[in-house]
Amino acid sequence: RHKFWETQPVGQFKDLGDSSLPEGPIEPPTPLSEVKQEPYNLPNLYEWITCNMDSDEMCSEVYNLLSNNYVEDDENMFRFNYSKEFLRWALRPPGYFKSWHIGVRAKSSKKLVAFITGVPARVRARDSVVNMAEINFLCVHKKLRSKRLAPVMIKEVTRRVHLENIWQAAYTAGVVLPTPISTCQYWHRSLNPKKLIDVGFSRLGARMTMSRTIKLYKLPDSTATPGFRKMEPHDVPAVTRLLRKYLSQFLVAPDFDEDDVEHWLLPKVDVVDSYLVESPETHEITDFCSFYTLPSSILGNQNYSTLKAAYSYYNVSTTTPLLQLMNDALIVAKQKDYDVFNALDVMQNESFLKELKFGPGDGKLHYYLYNYRINHIMRPSELGLVLL
Ligand code: YNC
Ligand code: MG
């Protein structure tokens, strides 16, 4: 059934529910001298390249491949449109390896036709902190689909990860593969309901008029929480402490240090936004919320070409109720002209989704680990990890 995935060190469907298998690495590391030294073979017309994301030209090539060929919804109405600045941010975190930004191009035309990336991350699974690769942006040009190029891309990134003495990986996908550690759902909160309905992202509810719908999703003009403000560079140590403590309750979560927080959470225009609550009395940082910016191209609409979407990232509440904190996040997203605010049902998100008028999306998002067994299927609320 899964000719490729059956050969890989991942949880196999036949082992689901077998709690006699030990949690942890499925295979031990091999000596580095035994890792294959040469790249895997590609069909003759193609060659491997390492993509230098410092270069504007390379970033544009990657951007063009993805904006035309990356993930679409089931009805092919929308396609992710990650910006160049976002790709730069996503691919150059602390300690990143250039060799993990892998392209395939046609030898004759030099055109980029496929891409896959990894970035390093420390991920905690129960009590173990594991050095992993987070794999993302696997893309094969539409004209080269179903030719078994994806397994070659995956084997090549695996080889290059192994060369850095890293043996585990985390990734998410909309498709079911052997075997999800958890299956999550996206929820959507309309900020600009008229546009969302006009472009076919959402539908007018039964017995609803457009004006009632606009009223239903109306938000206050300004945030409600005293001391709510944008995160600044001097907040990095306090946010790191707050986030580390919060994430410790989940079964799988990133192990962020201050460098990670500076990279992943300090605000970057049109890439990532972070807000926190500083107590007006004690000046303590008590709460935190963040979202990243990922527009989608709207395919074949006369009036609109892009949907501006915010995606809930990491949120921590200790003093401000999470519901109020997230309502303030919706208010700033609305002020910044986002059309929709998306959130997965991970961490404690279920506690605010329905009350804040998020509706369930249709697609699922499956979370996977490579070469690491987790002995039960986790509930989304046990997951403390958000991948881009
Ligand atoms: C996928 N998304 O099952 P079997 S998510 C992993 N992730 O293998 P072909 C996938 N595997 O079942 P196509 C996958 N999609 O026979 C398909 N597969 O064992 C498997 N779409 O290959 C599939 N991006 O080349 C099958 O398929 C085999 O031409 C078939 O190419 C697939 O980034 C794809 O959705 C996805 O660009 C490239 O459809 C193409 O269809 C495409 O014949 C639009 O492949 C964009 C899209 C995927 C987004 C993502 C995470 C990727 C994770 C990859 C796995 C990483 C493993 C860990 C490596 C490091 C290890 C260490 C240490
Ligand atoms: Mg293919």
Quote the ligand 1 centre to 90 CA distance (angstroms): 19
Ligand nearest to C-alpha 66: 1
For the segment 321-346, the average pLDDT, to the nearest whole number, is: 98
To the nearest whole percent, how much of the chain has pLDDT over 90? Answer: 96
Atom 35, ligand 1: residue with shortest CA distance:
71
Helix locations, the chain, DSSP H: 56-69, 84-91, 149-162, 193-198, 210-216, 236-247, 258-265, 322-335, 350-353
What per-residue confidence (pLDDT) applies to 178? 96
Residues with CB under 6 A from ligand 1: 2-5, 69-71, 133, 135-140, 145-151, 154, 157-158, 161, 166-169, 171, 173, 175, 177, 370-371
- Name the band, by pLDDT with cuts 50, 70 and 90, for residue 28: very high
Cis peptide bond upstream of 179, omega within 30: yes
- Residue 50's alpha-carbon distances to 47, 116, 162, 343, in angstroms, are 10, 10, 16, 33
> Which of 138, 155, 176, 364 to mutate to test ligand 1, by most ligand atoms within 8 A of the CB atom?
138
pTM of the model: 0.98
For the segment 146-157, the average pLDDT, to the nearest whole number, is: 98
What per-residue confidence (pLDDT) applies to 16? 83
Q: Crossing angle for the helix pair 56-69 and 84-91, nearest 10 degrees? A: 110
- DSSP secondary structure code for residue 383 in this structure: B
* Ligand 1 atom closest to the CA of 72, numbered from 1: 44
Summary mean pLDDT of the chain: 97
Apex CA 23: angle with CA 18 and CA 24, to 5°? 140
Q: What are phi and psi of 101, to 5 degrees?
A: -105, 95
Quote the ligand 2 centre to 139 CA distance (angstroms): 9
Residue numbers annotated as active site: 388
Quote the ligand 1 centre to 326 CA distance (angstroms): 34
CA 196 to centroid of chain Cα atoms: 22
Quote the ligand 2 centre to 41 CA distance (angstroms): 14
* Placement of tokens 């994430």 in the chain: 247
Looking at the predicted structure, is the pLDDT value of residue 20 above 90? Answer: no
* Ligand 1 atom closest to the CA of 140, numbered from 1: 37
Q: Which sign does the torsion angle of CA 143, 148, 151, 155 carry?
A: negative
pLDDT tens digit sequence for 78-106: 999 999 999 999 999 999 999 999 999 99
* Ligand 1 atom closest to the CA of 167, numbered from 1: 63
Q: What are phi and psi of 163, to 5 degrees?
A: -60, -20
Q: Crossing angle for the helix pair 258-265 and 236-247, nearest 10 degrees? A: 100
Q: pLDDT: is 20 or 115 the higher one?
A: 115
pLDDT tens digit sequence for 363-375: 899 999 999 999 8
